[in-house]
Amino acid sequence: MAAEFASRRFDFVVVGGGTAGLALAARLSEHSGVSVGVLEAGPAVLDADDENIRIPGHFGRSLGGSLDWQFETVPQPGLGHRKLPWPRGKVLGGTSALNFMAWNRGNREDYDAWSELGNPGWSWNELLPFFKKSETFHPPTAENQEQNKLLYDPETVGDSGPINISFATQYSASHQLWHDTLHSLGVETNRAHVGGSNVGVFTNIGAVDPKTVTRSYSTAYILPHTARPNLTVLTDALVTSIVIEDNGDGELRATGVRFSHGGEGFSVTAAREVVLCAGSVQSPQILELSGIGNADILTKAGINVKYNNPNVGENLQDHIMAAMIFEVDPSLPNPDDLKNDSSIAAAAREQYETSKSGPLTILAHSLSYLPFSHCMPADAVEGLAVQAARLQEFGPQDSAIRQSRLAPGAKLGQIEYIFDLGNWNPFFQPDCSNGKKYATCLQILQCPFSKGSIHIQPGADGSPATAFDKPQIDPKYYEGPNGVIDLEAMSHCAQFVDKLSKTKPLANIIRSRAFPPGGGDEEFQDWIIDTTITDWHPVGTCAMGGAKGAKGGVVDERLRAYGVRDLRVVDASIMPLQISAHLQATVYAIAEKGAQMILEDAGVLV
């Protein structure tokens, strides 16, 4: 199979059969005159084969397993030198097969900022058609809409895309209480949260097909088209590097890909382009293994330098998360019941299989995005703004955008809160034998100032880096002057969670705060340092360079790699600035737009 794949000469070779890669490959192969080959390192395990992919209520169960790359950060000084697990999907469909199915978009300003940095074509208005192209939204029934506050703007959702999205039909017992409590604190319901502003409280949409009540993910782009003769997907194929040739006059060109399959090495030719869709961790890794990156890093890793671009692997930005735990009314149905009582779990499974209803259809979609001004005192926000103004590492435009997010009156989703019954915190392990039950409030920083990097490194014995070695992931959480801003913001936002828990009607079901114990502000900061984890949303490591060009990024606004012809990157790594949203809807939009640009530049679309 691998030898046959390698013998082909594809127009486009797509590296990575994940969220972006399958969407891109499907769109390119809609044109019969275009041949597309896809290489995916993970296996072809589909939702039909794996209930943890298929069943909505099994979200999170694949993390740390065989379908997860099981990456890990280097020790983080800002987190007390802890290493953090960094889950990424190692399966056909990538992380869209493992994620929690949240489907939303950032604020208009998030995307407009990309354009303001000198990347024409990437504003909110210009991206909206690609958001809509990826999705088919299934409206809720009138009864469900009224009962569960399921609000949306029909003009901003798609109706014919491959990914099925919908509101759930059942919600946790805390869902209505969450909405009402935020209302009592002056937070308004957002009636169009995918329409360019996500500020407020709302019920989120999920990537779930309501007809089957199963996960809808990127395999939906290709499974209906497996008979296409011009689309070939090879799984269990680890790309080791890109073939880059010098035509003799100093111009570099990507002509193919080297990969490993079943312990053997192969190479395949790309007649038109190689398109990297390996994600924010492995797209920069593959570029560096191919000789594209910081010359000093490449040389130390034993890689011959083809094109010196110090921006490869830099600009890493991630959403960071902490989870406060509360003891709640034990009479409420709780997801932890399924973990602690096998008879309850069996009944829930039978209910799901027979009627596609019950606990296994419930997702954690009670959300609120708030500006800092709603979560902390005005002088605290002003203090963060003063610190941000002193930062030296960002360029003038980048700095202006970041500081504008801290301006008085900024109506941007700077912190996300999610409330759900059950214990979501890996650092809190209660004794379930006493009958106590718990709930979690997640707080997730949306636009962090912390910036890190992902790079290859030589083997422990000094041998050259290879694709079989995991890259060095260093997000620099809470590190340096940048990180101080993030730590202070998260500490203040934790105080707002504590306030929420003491506000009715949510307070009516909360017995006490279980984790962290205590209550002083200093204790919140220590707790934040000790328990912060990733929210699994890394971006920026192959960023669009904008007005700075190759001095400021890795790809141009058409996602073409600087310094090497016929090479593009199309995934979350191209985002120059983080957004205030879960990433998958934006990644699909990037893939849709990337496919159109590739076809335009190839003369297939005029």
Residues placed in the known binding site: 91, 95, 239, 536-537
Residue labelled with tokens 């990309």 = 114
DSSP 544: B
Crossing angle of helices 480-501 and 378-390, in 10° steps, is 160
Given a contact cutoff of 8 angstroms between Cβ atoms, the answer to whether 42 and 278 are in contact is no
Residue 285: what are its φ and ψ, rounded to 5°? Answer: -60, -45
Write the DSSP string, 220-262.
Answer: GGTGGGTT-TTEEEE-SEEEEEEEEEE-SSS-EEEEEEEEEET
Q: Is 502 exposed, middle or buried (0-12, 13-18, 19+ CB in 10 A)?
A: exposed
Catalytic position from the list 261, 319, 374, 582 = 582
Catalytic position from the list 179, 374, 455, 537 = 537
Residue labelled with tokens 């009670």 = 366
Residue labelled with tokens 């900022």 = 113
DSSP 77: G
Q: Which residues contact 194 (CB under 8 A, 6 or more apart)?
A: 104, 105, 131, 152, 153, 156, 157, 205, 585
Closest CA to 114 of 593, 537, 482: 593
Q: Tell me, what amino acid is at 597?
A: M
Residue 86: what are its φ and ψ, rounded to 5°? Answer: -130, 85
Paired with 441 in beta bridges are: 324, 419
| Binding site members for FAD | 91, 95, 239, 536-537
Give the CA distances from residue 603 to residues 253, 600, 606, in Å, rounded to whole numbers and listed in that order.
19, 5, 6
State whether residue 549 is helix, strand or coil: helix
What are the start-end ranges of the E strands in 452-522? 453-455, 472-474, 510-515
Q: Tell me, what amino acid is at 416?
A: E
What gap in Å lies between CA 292 and CA 284, rounded to an integer? 9
- Parallel, antiparallel, or unpaired: how do β-strands 264-276 and 567-569 relate? parallel
Given a contact cutoff of 8 angstroms between Cβ atoms, the answer to whether 587 and 93 are in contact is no
Given a contact cutoff of 8 angstroms between Cβ atoms, the answer to whether 97 and 89 are in contact is yes
Closest CA to 201 of 215, 213, 211, 187: 187
The count of other CB atoms within 10 Å of the CB of residue 236 is 17
Residue 545: what are its φ and ψ, rounded to 5°? Answer: -80, -20
What gap in Å lies between CA 586 and CA 163, rounded to an integer? 13
582 is an active site residue: yes
Q: Which H or E run includes 369?
A: strand 366-370
Closest CA to 334 of 315, 313, 348: 348
492 is an active site residue: no
Give the CA distances from residue 167 to residues 129, 151, 366, 451, in Å, rounded to whole numbers and listed in that order.
21, 9, 11, 34
Catalytic residues: 537, 582
